[in-house]
Structures are given as structure tokens and as C-alpha cells.
Amino acid sequence: MNIGIDQISFYTSQYFLDLRTLAEARGVDPDKYVIGIGQSKMGIPPPDEDVVTMAASAAFQLKEQGALDGVEALLFATESGIDQSKAAGMFVHGLLGLPERCRVVELKQACYSATAALRMAMGLVAMRPQSKVLVIAADIARYELGSPGESTQGCGAVAFTISADPRLIVIDPESGFYADDVMDFWRPNYLSEAQVDGKYSTLVYIKALKAAWTQYAEESGRSLDDFARFCYHIPFTRMAAKAHQKLARGISDEELENVIGESLIYSREAGNCYTASLYVGIVSLLDHCAEDLSGKRIGLYSYGSGCVGEFFSGVVQPGYHDVLLTNEHQKLLNERMELTFQQYEDIYHYGIPTDGGEHVFPQYRTGPFRFAGIERHKRIYEEA
Ligand code: COA
């Protein structure tokens, strides 16, 4: 049975900071961010946007297409959890009006957990081929102001449905995966900013990639030539480029751009979306690739610090163009509002109240849903 991604949508916040603005404020050469890191802008969520509203906004686009009919599970991948107990997906279930006959759970393993969700979803669909699973990955990448990680912040969500006979990508059964207990990136429960050993994290990313690829290649018998394109986990776009250069030693700049270039366009605009990053890359590739990818195989690498890496693959399905939401994605990015540096820092410092009192948040521009406030430690969401 063929199982895979039936439809996919992407959402990021309505506000961004240009990295040249950040560079100027921090006294850094803008080329470091734009060329050295490979990022242009970073998505900044206003106080009334969080992983729930971004996730619901991404999935709402699928709902409008009728793609959520038959959904029996919602798997929510995030490392920006809003509650230690209640899954963020429960709020999304309510906002989207999903059926009561639905399993809902939240998954965590840094940026890897959306791929774990995809695997679990495939298992559920294999057991009940008439059913669908909604997977949502949503995150806010946040580092200390002035730290090396600051320029790699961002936010966004990707929602996709897993079904039998999918219209977009059939996921291959072969896979290479790798785990190692390391401290390259983590966020203790009492901190709102990630802690990161940045250089070390890039080395572990590559180490896990090599191990996962070796295993995948042995299991599948495929070589790099069997792939039309590659999508990587993208903490910043230069990382994906470096990763592919490690696998395809000696690759020319032109060929590198050809096999990964289209997958990096949205990430350069939205910044790191953690769990969603690989999937932002897939959306970006499908939305931008001028070549017809029908019947072509794409290589996929998911990495989550701490760490788990997985290399897997999928075959793009004929007719895939008909189910893409390219116009919606480009409209969203084109209509975003640019923040000044002062506005960026003000939003950064706007903390979520923890006193259990009644708080109403100012209304900013969001998607169809907003995080309206907090009452007695309960998050209140509403239609925008
Ligand atoms: N023009 C062009 N390129 C420049 C430049 C300039 N003026 N100044 C610096 N660069 C290049 C550097 O040569 C380097 O490229 P290289 O890696 O190919 O050598 C790149 O820009 C980054 O500079 P560097 O000094 O290494 O950056 P940094 O130490 O300040 O921060 C990270 C880099 C990745 C460590 C930091 O962004 C980080 O901690 N990010 C969060 C963690 C992360 O995303 N990890 C990824 C794995 S999940």
C-alpha cells in the first residue's frame, strides 16, 4: 500500500525583522547573516500568536480544501510547548472543530519530532487505510538577544495529512536513523530561550546525517544519483548547503543550487521553524521547482538536537501541482509587515504573564486565530 503526504500547508507570523536591520543594530557585517548564515528575514510572532494559533492557521488552509475530512488523529510536534500536561493539539482540535472521534497527542524530540509523527501516522494509516492523520509541526525559535543564535530565530508551522494513495508524496519504506545522547541544544522548563552549543550542534547534525545516510543507502541500495532533489532540516540555510556538501563531496556550486536551492526559499524568509523546518523545505521545493517532479524521488533529512537524525525519501506523485497551496503561501509572505529593531525588541520582551490573573493581549495581525489572553492560568483562543 502506498502511504504518504496527501496535502501540505505552511504558515508563519505576519511580522518579520530584516536581518540587515539586526546586523546594523548589533554592529555585525550584514553579509555574515545573509551570506555566512544564509538568512534574509526572521518571522517574529506578536504576543497574540503562539504555536497553537500558527498550527491552527496552517491546518485551516487544509480544512478549507476539505483535506481534513476523515481525520482520525492529530499529532502535534513542537519544542515550544505551552503546557506540561495538556497537548497543544487539543486547542487546535477545538479551533478547527475536528471530530470527537479523534486521537490527539503532542510529540517532542527537538526538531525531529514531526518526522516521528509522520512515521506514527503512517503506521496508523497502514492499519486503517480509509483513515487520515493530521500532522502539525509548529515552533518559535528564540535565543538570547545578542547571542550567536539570535540571527537564526524564526517561527512557523506546517500542517500535512498522511493517507493511503496520497496526492503529493509517497514515502518510501526504507529509512536510516541514528540517536546519541548529547547536549548540543536544549531548553530547561524554566527558560524561554534555548541553550545551544552552536558549533558543536552543527558537528553533531553532520555526524548524525552521515550515519543515517549510510544506513539508508545500505538498506535501499540507492545512491545520491537516484534523487532529483534533497530537503534538509534547515536551522539556517547555509547548514543545509553544508550538509549536502558533506554527502556529495566535490559538488559544484551550480549543482548544489540545483538540488537544494528551491527548498531553502521559504526558510530564508521565515527563519528557523524547528520541528517544521524540514517540512517548510518540502513545501518550498514543491512551490518553487520549475522542473516537473512527477515520479521523481526526493531525499529527506530530519535532525533534532539531543539528538536523533533520520534520512528517508519519497516519490512525488503525478498531478501534485493541483493540490499545492502556492498562492496562499506567497500571499502570506508578501503581505507580512516589517518590524523596526525597537519593535522587535519590545515584542521579544513581552512575556507571558505567570501570575494566574486576568490578562487580555493587544490585538496584532494574525491568521484566522489569535491567542486572546489568559484567565486563571487558562489560555484563551479566539477567531481573529
Ligand atoms: N561575510 C560572509 N560570511 C561571513 C562573514 C562576512 N562578513 N562573517 C562571517 N561569515 C561566515 C563565517 O565564515 C561562517 O561561515 P562558515 O561556517 O562557512 O565558516 C558563518 O558566516 C557563520 O559565522 P560564525 O562566526 O561561525 O558564526 P557564529 O559563531 O556567530 O554563529 C552558529 C553560528 C551556527 C553557531 C549560531 O548561529 C548558532 O548558535 N545557531 C543556533 C544553533 C543552530 O542553528 N545549530 C544548527 C544545528 S541544529
Q: Which atom of ligand 1 is nearest the CA belonging to 202? A: 47
Question: What local confidence, expressed as pLDDT, does residue 46 receive?
Answer: 97
Q: Which atom of ligand 1 is nearest the CA belonging to 235? A: 44
The sign of the torsion formed by the CA atoms of 184, 29, 340, 56 equals: negative
- Is-contact 110 184, C-beta < 8 A? no
CA-nearest residue, atom 11 of ligand 1 = 36
Question: What local confidence, expressed as pLDDT, does residue 365 receive?
Answer: 98
Q: Which atom of ligand 1 is nearest the CA belonging to 29? A: 7
Distance 28 CA to ligand 1 centre (A): 12
Q: Which atom of ligand 1 is nearest the CA belonging to 199? A: 35
CA-nearest residue, atom 17 of ligand 1 = 36
Pocket lining for ligand 1, CB < 6 angstroms: 29, 31-32, 35-37, 148-149, 152, 196, 198-199, 201-202, 205, 235-236, 239, 305
CA-nearest residue, atom 9 of ligand 1 = 32
**How far apart are the two ends of the chain, measured CA to CA in Å?**
41
Question: What local confidence, expressed as pLDDT, does residue 291 receive?
Answer: 97
- Is-contact 287 267, C-beta < 8 A? no
User: 229: which 3 cell numbers?
Assistant: 532533489
Name the residue range of residue 259's domain: 3-383
Question: What local confidence, expressed as pLDDT, does residue 322 receive?
Answer: 97
Preceding amide of 111 cis, omega within 30: no
Residues 6+ apart with CB under 8 A from 268: 38, 39, 40, 41, 237
Distance 171 CA to ligand 1 centre (A): 33
Distance 87 CA to ligand 1 centre (A): 34
The DSSP code for 29 is -
Question: What local confidence, expressed as pLDDT, does residue 337 receive?
Answer: 98
Strand duo 132-141 + 71-77: pairing: parallel
User: 268: which 3 cell numbers?
Assistant: 530564508
Catalytic residue from among 233, 262, 269, 329: 233
Site to probe by mutation for ligand 1, drawn from 29, 34, 35, 37 as the one with most ligand atoms within 8 Å of Cβ, is: 37
Distance 19 CA to ligand 1 centre (A): 14
* Active site (annotated) includes residue 233: yes
Number of folded domains that form the chain: 1
Q: The domain that contains 8 carries what CATH number?
A: 3.40.47.10
Which parts of the chain register pLDDT below 70?
Answer: none
* Active site (annotated) includes residue 111: yes
Question: What local confidence, expressed as pLDDT, does residue 118 receive?
Answer: 98
Strand duo 176-179 + 308-316: pairing: antiparallel
What phi and psi, each to the nearest 5 degrees, are found at residue 376? 45, 50
* Active site (annotated) includes residue 349: no
